[in-house]
Structure 1
Amino acid sequence: MDTQQQKMLKNLSPTRALIPILIGLAVPIYMVWSSDDFQVDQIIDHLGNMNIWWIFLSFVVLIGRDAGYMYRIRTLTNKHLSWNSSFFVIMLWEFASAITPSVVGGTSVAVFIMNREKISFGKALSFVMLTAILDNLFFVFASIFVIILFPGSIFPANNYSAEILGMTLGLKQIFVVSVSLIAVYTAFMAWGLFIGPKSFKKFLWFLTSNRFTKRWRRMAVKSGNEMIVASRELKGHKTSYWLKVILSTVFIWSSRYAMLNCLINAFLHIDLFSLTQGQFLDQFLIFGRQIIMWIVMLISPTPGSAGTAEYFFGEFFKEFFNDAGLVIVVALFWRLFTYYTYLLMGTIVLPTWISKRFK
């Protein structure tokens, strides 16, 4: 096994899951400790009275999301990946994303995993870049859509603010900064991947042409060469190919957000077949706020947004609950389904995958 493979496997080490777990649990514990409204008896009552069918539907939606991920990666590779290989790729990719900061993600590890599944480096790189572009485009356009749909209520009515680089920013300002960075980065990557990969390389060369940035020239040249290889691999696909990957992207993220709707409904005792007009509109508002919250969380420096996600959940959704303690409980359920599940799956799947791919 060469040094690069050892480095990648070290990045996938299950022991790296300990830090995000500790951070993710520390924030709810602090929220409980600092809250005067958290009453254990009430929480036990809420857990006993939650709608089990909504919880079951949450699992169904979660499984559907993972199936959508597997379908998309198989479509991207023209079915060169089997369903079994797609399962390993998605679970380990999610695990890698969960143990790395959200702003970094697990893209380099994803290329390594796909390469070990007998996808050439150039193709694996192009697929990972393409999924990042598709996901980011969904965030940008979906966020614009929900802001137009709920112009006055998509952002929570609170006084939250944070100091970033010496500036005090509220949720709206943090969102604007985050979505702007995502849009610029995505446009830059799309230009390099689909329009001018050679111009992309020349631009990186220009950025590293002065004495202050020259130290990063080797990395810039490597990135430019990788972009040229990835761009070449994506040429010649039919319209049906692009339609499938775009629709599967919409399905994946819609399923992820719909899962939280199911969880909240389980604790608010919402009857699916007798929704009032207000409850019906709240479903869309909850769905839309997740899009905004996700974009805010993308600039989190912690692995998998651990701690950040639990805190922002309360900021975005506490107005839907009468009990402040219940907010913490639902936040933990939400993270259990969307985050801790993949930490657990990664630690289970990783040894099996290593034994199969590194005999």
Structure 2
Amino acid sequence: MAVTAEEVMATYEDLAKLEAQFDDVETETIRYQHKITKPLYAKRAEVVAKISSFWSLVFEQAPMEIDESIQPTDSALLLGSIHNFSVERFEIDSDIENGEPRSVLFRFEFNENEYFEDKVIEKKFWWRYGKDGTIGYVSEPVNIKWKDGKDLTNGLLALARAAWEEDQAVPKKDGKDKKEKALGPAASALKKKMEEHEGAVSFFAWFGFVGEKISAEENAEVVAKKKAGEEIEAEDTEMQDGDDEDWEDEDDLEDLEIFPNGDDVAMALADDLWPNALKYFTAAQDDDLGSDIEFESGDEDEEDEEEGSSAQKPSKKKHKGCAHGCEH
């Protein structure tokens, strides 16, 4: 039996409403889970503060989304200097009305190092809803005070921040988020730098992630409608005559994300590495034990070999990315 277009549209609307209800339940689940686990995280912080290498070992065992982003040149700094890491659900921690529990603040604390002057680097991710149905993270590029010749991002992070500030300063068109002119001098310089950049991008370029183009005002309007049970109609984004140049520039801005999968790394940090830090620390200890046993076994085997054997001694095994001189 053929299904009419009207029936299909009605079904899509029902599915959309059901999806929104699932999203509401997930939001409340995260909110409740945070409430009951917050005291436990506080106790955990007190205990692990006594273990100087805790967070470096945790990051050595980081989940794939994070591990793949840590380049060999990052390891000495990230794993060798980090001494504390924390995640805050800042919108609900601050009792913001209708605060979004997915919004997170990451706080990295470092020992004195040869790469940058900062002792603490923080980055916020706002979870927002757009009028066009877009949902996702919004962030602001964060500068790092690199020491001379030590910028692991090769200038990308500083340019990302400059381009973002430049974009924020451009007036909106007709009260909308669309800008009169998308690309300015800083954005153009960033685009050129990205085209010239060779090799993998440093993990520290993650601090330059921007994400979705959704303002706080737009998000508040959509959230209010969701709470009131109103249907949210996606705004018409069809290209109008004479907008060709603006749209090309908007596309250019989309391409200026220096760390495109920054939201994936943020989610992995907040929803995996942070809550499962004890598991990753234990895994690192198990690796240590396994390496020691393997090394000792190798010594015993070598002692049994006849003198004059040309066999080489077994080498000590190291953790992936181990950067603080730890041999196991």
**TM-score scaled by length of structure 2:** 0.23
Higher relative contact order (CA 8 A, sep 6+): 1
**Which has more strand, going by share of residues?**
2
Say which structure is richer in helix. 1
Greater C-alpha Rg:
2
